[in-house]
Amino acid sequence: MGKKVKLSYNADRVNIYYSNMLIASHKRSKIAHQFTTLSEHQPAQHRFISEWTPEKLIEQSAAIHPDVESYIKKVLIKKQYPDQAHKCCSGILAFARKVGVDRLIAACRLADSIGKYNYLIIEEILHKKLDQIEPDIQTEELPPHDNIRGKDYYQ
């Protein structure tokens, strides 16, 4: 019969034994139904992700361009969970290496202009090359009419 791992706990500590030798001891969390994670127990790539902060994402985006920084700030505000925000923003910023800074800036501007703040919209804009289409903006003056009051009316 193989050796077994045994677990013992009390109100304050959780102890793990293997072959009657203590192999781990941790302070017990008082938060009900929540996971606790010690960074020293995480693999290096997970530790790298957990050490990211919104400030670091904003700093990285600011180094690219103010429009990208503004877009990333809005993504961070819109996302409900920090992990989702980090993953989304990291993916968006990775496009700077994949397609170039200029295209990322244009994609962020376009997505911002339509009020969409996520990775998928940036990916779609870049994939369909919508960032490279010049907007066709034509403004026309409205003809004078009795029913059109104008901006001065509402002051």
Question: pLDDT, tens digit, for every residue of 17-56?
Answer: 998 899 988 888 887 777 777 667 677 766 656 667 899 9
Q: Tokens standing for 143?
A: 């003809």
Residue with tokens 């490279």: 132
What is the Cα–Cα distance from 110 to 89, expressed in whole angstroms? 16
Question: pLDDT, tens digit, for every residue of 85-99?
Answer: 888 999 999 999 999
All residues at 6 or more sequence positions from 149 whose CB lies less than 8 Å from its CB, including other chains? none
How many helices and strands (H and E) does the chain possess?
A: 6, 3
Q: Tokens standing for 117?
A: 């703040």
User: 5-9 and 13-18 as β-strands: parallel, antiparallel, unpaired?
Assistant: antiparallel
The CA-CA-CA angle for residues 126, 127, 133, to 5°, reads 55
- Output the pLDDT for position 45: 65
